[in-house]
Amino acid sequence: MENTHLVEQDSHTRAETCTIIGVDCATDPKNVGLTRGIWKNEKLRITDITNGQIRSPEDMVSEWIFESKRCLLALDAPLGWPQDFGHTLSDHFAGMPVQKEANLFFRRETDRFVKRTFGKVPLDVGADRIARTALSALQLLGKLSENTGIDIPLAWNTDFAGIAAIEVYPAGTLKASQIQSSAYKRSNQAEARQKILAWLDNEAELPVDLSLPLKDADALDAMLCTLAGADFLAGKAYLPTDLALARKEGWSWVRK
């Protein structure tokens, strides 16, 4: 029987060099933010910042995968749906009553955990437009597997070989660090984005040119995705409360 509790990986595993690709997912490929970072000796260096307006996300990420020996994809999108949502609707017909509490029906355990822990509610993949972004993220993973000829499983601990993916939540990373986690995406909020970049400069080694994330919140969110990937590798993210359920619904790896 599978153990539903994860164990912390040893320091040798966490210190192994890994490419982290942060993906701020979107339904329109042009709105996808992308960053590449190198995790080595417990430190993160972000080397590339771009978006889908410059090049298609699947082509750019596929190239980065080919250039890496070990790679972690950190995607800002739900990668699963609530278990009760799927179970209930599979036998439901129009007009039939649904005897489910809304937060259990539309919201995953990881979303409820983020709400309990940080007081911030992620969008409900069972009820909000984020479902379309989730579908686009899963389709992107499929295209990357086709392009590279490599299966991309989800990682549930840091002991993975080759390539794996995780779900992350940039707003949760900011909230956990007591940094403004709302309104910074608006076009007139360059000052808020500048403050986040200044904070990121203390969290990772950044490129000299930060003009793109300063004006494009999607690129900035991709940087936060990469940082969340580094938190996962460093053992600094919250573990799933129920691994079996997380494997079904997905789990957002958020900084402790």
List per-residue pLDDT tens for the chain, 256 residues long.
333 333 344 444 555 899 999 999 999 999 999 999 999 999 999 999 999 998 899 999 999 999 999 999 999 999 999 988 777 767 877 877 777 777 777 899 999 999 999 999 899 998 888 999 999 999 999 999 999 999 999 999 999 999 999 999 999 999 999 998 888 988 889 999 999 999 999 999 999 999 999 999 999 999 999 999 999 999 999 999 999 999 999 999 999 9
HSE on the CB side for 57, CA within 13 Å? 30
Pairing of strands 163-167, 71-75: parallel
Tell the burial category of 93 from Cβ atoms under 10 Å away from its Cβ (0-12, 13-18, 19+): exposed
The model's pTM is: 0.91
Phi–psi pair at 22, nearest 5 degrees = -90, 130
